[in-house]
Amino acid sequence: MLNRRGLLQALVLAAVSSNTGRLMAETAASGKPHRRLPWRNWSGSQQCLPAARLAPASVEELQELLSTGTGVVRPVGAGHSFTPLVPTDGTIVSLSRLSGLVDHDPKTLQAKLWAGSRLGDLGQPLEEVGQALVNMPDIDEQALAGCLATATHGTGAGIGCMSTFIEGLQLIDARGQLHDCDRQQNTELFEAARVSLGVLGIITQVRLQNVAPYRLRRETVWREFDEILAIADSEADKHRNFEFYYVPFSGMGFTDAHDISDEPISSTEKIDGNEGARDLQLARDMLSWFPRLRELVLGSYMKTLSDEVTVENSWKNYASERNVRFNEMEYHLPRENGLPALREIRRELETRHPEVFFPIEVRYVQADDIWLSPFYQRDCCSIAVHRFFEEDYKPYFRAIEPIFRKYGGRPHWGKLNTLQQSDFRKLYPRWDDFAAVRRELDPQGRFLNPYLAGLFSATAGQS
């Protein structure tokens, strides 16, 4: 066992070294005193060599930066987006020094937060003032601004994406001018800015509608794939938060349901997930040549696994640390299309992609009215597929994306997709309204890197 793990670690180290060689050589050659560092996203799939990386310490500093500077400026959070929202050879601006709680209202249970706050850093201070986020994603490393810019979501058929919690926000446009907007003032900007990809300006503060602190009971149950499909819709309606995973080539998956509870904090035994990822990869390597045996072995064992229950304060019971990096594609489908699409995805995956070992993740999100929200005016079933970050994701994602699109999916703004401006204009009824607001706030396109220029430049359409 130890030998096997040692071998795996050696292989991983070797792979990392080979992948990073080129940029390391470039940067090493540039000399230590003035070394210009490349920027990469979380998975390493996006990279650039920016002229500057800045972290203003105040709104005034940020205004100065925007009003006096030239060239492209892109805001960066935690780098958790897989799409090329950040890369630029201009300036990358981090709001990491603008983080934390600004103020709060105990009557309305609203809190004003710096947009650079990490989600995982908000639970404790909010609890201390008698508040909690309505919902959270299953990763909490992201910056708040990044979550909101990309319509990041948790799961819950009766709960919207994170951006639906916004009651007001402050934004600095390309000329360095401050704009405040909420449901009553600057309503057009408010509708556009709640999900805005960082192309309207840099959002510095947001006022969120929260709830009183609550405790969640999270229950994980292993089930056969067909059973999951049979109960998924009713379970999604029954539980506050419900999601499920399907494990490729096993016939098995697990459901994960959260409900508010007043039970004492407790947890059943857990397994080391990071080691597990490596081991699943190894199982893939050993058995991908014989899918039926793979399913027999994996499925048989999973049927013996115990259910798992964790009771914890809400902000400690949504997210998991992800030390195993991956690339991801996620589409939000009309809810009624989710399960039929999943059946097709499984068929495609298990017919043509034995290389895949990451589970498929399925979540539910309530409809909203935000112009660029993928959940605009429709309840959704969100389906995500993953590949280990050191392996080529393109063949698998290229095969799955047509299924997502066939079923009317809209891609997560931060997750890999191949859609162009013309595709998005068809998917978003308010696309041109958003584009008009963008032109007004940033007529010179300072917030447009090449990817975003492709989505919003006038030459590519009317955006």
Q: Which of these, 8, 184, 206, 202, lies nearest to 102 by C-alpha position?
A: 206
| Cα 330–Cα 205–Cα 46 angle in degrees, nearest 5 | 35
Question: Residue 111: left if φ>0, alpha if ψ -120 to 50, beta else—which one?
Answer: beta
Question: Which residues have CB under 8 Å from 192's CB, separation 6+?
Answer: 200, 371, 372, 433, 434, 437, 438
Contact criterion met (CB below 8 Å) for 417 and 195: no
Binding mask 407-436 for another protein (x = CB under 8 A): ------------------------------
Task: Tell the smallest beta-carbon distance from residue 440 to another protein (Å).
Answer: 29
Q: How far from each other are the two terminal CA atoms of the chain, in whole angstroms?
A: 57
Query: Of 8, 44, 339, 453, which lies in the binding site for another protein, with binding defined by CB under 8 A?
Result: 44
| DSSP letter, residue 211 | B
Task: Tell the smallest beta-carbon distance from residue 326 to another protein (Å).
Answer: 9
Helix (H), strand (E) at residue 302: helix 291-302
Question: Which residues have CB under 8 Å from 178's CB, separation 6+?
Answer: 59, 63, 170, 171, 172
Site for another protein in 356-395 (CB under 8 A): 357-359, 361
If DSSP codes are grouped into helix, strand and coil, which group holds residue 309?
strand
Examine residue 274 and tell whether it contacts another protein (CB under 8 A): yes
**For the residues of 313-381, what is the DSSP string, one character each?**
EGGGSS-----S-EEEEEEEEEGGGHHHHHHHHHHHHHHH-TT--SPEEEEEE--B--TT-TTBTS-EE
Task: Tell the smallest beta-carbon distance from residue 353 to another protein (Å).
Answer: 17
Examine residue 353 and tell whether it contacts another protein (CB under 8 A): no
Query: Of 287, 349, 365, 372, which lies in the binding site for another protein, with binding defined by CB under 8 A?
Result: 287
C-beta of 186 vs 310, nearer to another protein = 310
Give the range of 25-33, 186-194, 328-336, 338-346 binding another protein by CB under 8 A: 25-33
Examine residue 94 and tell whether it contacts another protein (CB under 8 A): yes
Examine residue 297 and tell whether it contacts another protein (CB under 8 A): yes
Examine residue 141 and tell whether it contacts another protein (CB under 8 A): yes
C-beta of 218 vs 430, nearer to another protein = 218
Examine residue 288 and tell whether it contacts another protein (CB under 8 A): no
Examine residue 114 and tell whether it contacts another protein (CB under 8 A): no
Query: Of 11, 54, 231, 436, which lies in the binding site for another protein, with binding defined by CB under 8 A?
Result: 54
Site for another protein in 304-343 (CB under 8 A): 305, 308, 320-325
Contact criterion met (CB below 8 Å) for 411 and 374: yes
Helix (H), strand (E) at residue 66: helix 59-68
Give the range of 274-282, 330-338, 391-399, 444-452 binding another protein by CB under 8 A: 274-282
**For the residues of 386-430, what is the DSSP string, one character each?**
EEETTS--HHHHHHHHHHHHHTT-EE-TTS-----HHHHHHH-TT
Examine residue 49 and tell whether it contacts another protein (CB under 8 A): no
Give the range of 36-44, 197-205, 396-404, 415-423 binding another protein by CB under 8 A: 36-44
Q: Which of these, 316, 423, 328, 336, lies nearest to 378 by C-alpha position?
A: 336
| Residue keyed to tokens 């309505």 | 134
Examine residue 302 and tell whether it contacts another protein (CB under 8 A): yes
Examine residue 76 and tell whether it contacts another protein (CB under 8 A): yes
Pairing mode of beta strands 73-76, 110-114? unpaired
Query: Of 71, 301, 377, 450, which lies in the binding site for another protein, with binding defined by CB under 8 A?
Result: 301
Query: Of 6, 71, 106, 276, which lies in the binding site for another protein, with binding defined by CB under 8 A?
Result: 276
Task: Tell the smallest beta-carbon distance from residue 113 to another protein (Å).
Answer: 15
Examine residue 279 and tell whether it contacts another protein (CB under 8 A): yes
Binding mask 208-247 for another protein (x = CB under 8 A): ------------x------------------------x-x
Contact criterion met (CB below 8 Å) for 413 and 396: no
C-beta of 84 vs 168, nearer to another protein = 84
C-beta of 283 vs 436, nearer to another protein = 283
* Separation CA 386–CA 109 (nearest Å): 37
How many residues sit close enough to another protein to count as binding (CB under 8 A)?
73
Query: Of 16, 212, 230, 265, which lies in the binding site for another protein, with binding defined by CB under 8 A?
Result: 16
Examine residue 96 and tell whether it contacts another protein (CB under 8 A): yes
Question: Which residues have CB under 8 Å from 62's CB, separation 6+?
Answer: 56, 93, 98, 172, 176, 202, 204
Examine residue 455 and tell whether it contacts another protein (CB under 8 A): no
- Determine how many CB atoms are found less than 10 A away from the CB of residue 370: 25
Examine residue 273 and tell whether it contacts another protein (CB under 8 A): yes
Task: Tell the smallest beta-carbon distance from residue 435 to another protein (Å).
Answer: 28
Structure tokens at 295: 């399913």
Query: Of 191, 235, 256, 330, which lies in the binding site for another protein, with binding defined by CB under 8 A?
Result: 256
Burial (0-12, 13-18, 19+ Cβ within 10 Å), 373: buried
